[in-house]
Amino acid sequence: MEFTFFDALAIIGSLGLFIYGIKKASESIQKAIGLYLTKLVKTMTRNHLSGILTGFFLTAAVFSSSSTIVMVVSFVNSGIITLTESVSIIFGAGVGSTVITWLVSIFGFETKITYLFILLLTIGTPLIFSSKNKLKYIGEFVFGVAIVFLALSLLIQFVPMVSDATLLTSFTESIQPFGFAENIFFALVGVILTIIMQSSVASIVFTQVLCFSGIITFDVAIPLVLGQNFGRTINAELAAMSGNVHAKRTARIHSLINIFGFLWMVILISFFPVLNHLDFINVHLFNTDSVFSTYGAPIGIAVFHSMYNIINSVILIWFIPTLVRLAENNIKSRGRADEIFHLEHLSSNISLSTDLSIFEAQKELSKFGELTHKMNTLSKELITEQNEEKIQELLKTIARYEEITDKMEVEATEFLTKISQGEMSETSSVQIRGMLRIIINLERIGDIYYQLSKTIERKIQNQIWFTPQQRQNILAMFDLIDEAMKHMCFNLSNSYNEANIEKAKALEEKINNYRTKLRQENFENIEQGEYSYKNATVYSELFNSLEKVGDHIINVSEGVAGVL
């Protein structure tokens, strides 16, 4: 029977189904336990061992090391974990990526996969129609795993047809025995396969099926797997491109870990009898067939994949500070440019779940709030500063921050709109609407401070001087705004469910009352001729502008609390 074009389509379709199953399972489990993942990462990265375990279980749970690495890059980007803490999670993710190869080796080649597919489908399908979101997501996860095993059974069915096209088999046999150059060649082929499939797991499982079907030999499979494992660094590097310097450094550390592992392992398999040792482990430790047989090869690949990642992690865990320094030296900080606030969402390359995306956006809105708080501090300094150069520097900084708030409004709105297009619960929908309200009001605060700075600049240029009492009153108004700002930032940086809206209302009332008091006194002082009309006008503009800031601050806190 000849290998036909339709057989090739069947293999490609089976691979596509496998990748879809992995994606479905990964996305569903993220939806089910998304917020728990962030809590796990925050609490389990205090030492290297717990960090490795976190990375392992996280990857095992979401069925994808690439998703884990992207999440880690995102968490570093948002300041949830430090760069150093991220390294141990990356080690764990590498080890966790071997879980699927083990599942495939144990259940995919020794049992009736069709029965397993039907069993999983029977369990998952009723859960999908559950009214409870958690059960629904778990059902979708089980359904995704079922698709993985269905795709695997199809691959096992169609891949043996390739044996009729003897070109590949003849090619691999013609370059025996294997040396360093041959291992490098097949490792590069593995990298290309991962890039094409966009999944190191799918490409490694495909290699297991090729070995099981006798299309390639075990000594071809090992450098292929080595390259496929290295190919996953591409996703992390792409994900970090839109992030800040810390995100780029996290992705670079991931690449350095895999580069080091690739180099020492390709040398080892080229000049030492590694395959014979793997065969010994297969036969005597796992009591299975030889790795050089079709039935023993999939287990042998899983053993190699696991041992390689474990040994590489054990070696490099002692050099975490060195890896961090190398990444910092390789990717230099741009100084003030890296402090520019913008929504550094990394999920544009690999989508996170709705809950994780909302959590990430909350961290960014917390930065947005801090930026407006800084604008309040800078504006207050303008009232008392007398040095011309410092005044100009303050004016330029406020103008720059106002431009950043405009940019953040656009980016944040686009990001939240993208999230809202996906499937979400009513709770998530309310959160997003509240966050959109937060964005609008924070951007408006930035505009007011810019206008306020122009008012102060006009006051200085026209040599309009405040009386000591006026200056004291304006500074007191700034202090009230500062207190309200601090509480607003506190609400933004903590769980939205715990927002203290009553305190925010009390602070806003104090601001309103003080504005009313200043306005009444201002009218009286004009009538009594205490200062000029121009003076009174500028003075009035300032305290009225600050009162408007107070209105937007309470709107932000209400958005946090879900008051729409």
For residue range 262-308, list pLDDT tens digits in order: 999 999 998 888 888 899 988 888 888 888 888 888 999 999 999 99
The predicted pLDDT at position 251 comes to 83
Nearest Cα neighbor of 162 from 222, 207, 199, 193 is 207
Q: Compute the distance between CA of residue 259 and CA of residue 495 in angstroms, rounded to an integer.
A: 39
Provide the residue type at 115 as one letter.
Y
What pTM was computed for the model?
0.70
On the 0-12 / 13-18 / 19+ scale of CB atoms within 10 A, 67 is buried
Domains by residue range for the chain, with CATH: 5-329 (no CATH), 354-561 (1.20.58.220)
Provide the Cα torsion 487, 489, 495, 496; round to 10°: 80
The predicted pLDDT at position 431 comes to 84
Q: How far is CA 499 from CA 432, 494, 558, in A?
A: 16, 8, 9
What lies within 8 Å, CB to CB, of 439 at 6+ separation is 365, 368, 408, 409, 412, 413, 416
DSSP symbols for 422-487: S---HHHHHHHHHHHHHHHHHHHHHHHHHHHHHHHHHHHHTT----HHHHHHHHHHHHHHHHHHHH
Find out whether 73 and 236 touch, Cβ atoms under 8 Å.
yes
What lies within 8 Å, CB to CB, of 30 at 6+ separation is 37, 62, 67, 352, 353, 355, 356
Give the tokens for residue 438.
């937060």
Nearest Cα neighbor of 155 from 218, 97, 204, 122 is 204
The predicted pLDDT at position 346 comes to 37
The predicted pLDDT at position 507 comes to 92
Cis-peptide, bond into residue 321, ω within 30° of zero: no
For residue range 337-366, list pLDDT tens digits in order: 454 444 444 344 445 567 777 877 888 898
The predicted pLDDT at position 446 comes to 93
- In order along the chain (564 residues), what is the average pLDDT of each group of 10 residues? 73 87 82 68 70 85 76 72 84 88 80 78 88 84 88 80 56 65 90 85 88 86 92 76 75 91 92 89 86 87 93 92 90 58 44 70 88 93 89 92 89 82 72 90 94 91 87 93 94 84 92 92 85 87 93 92 76
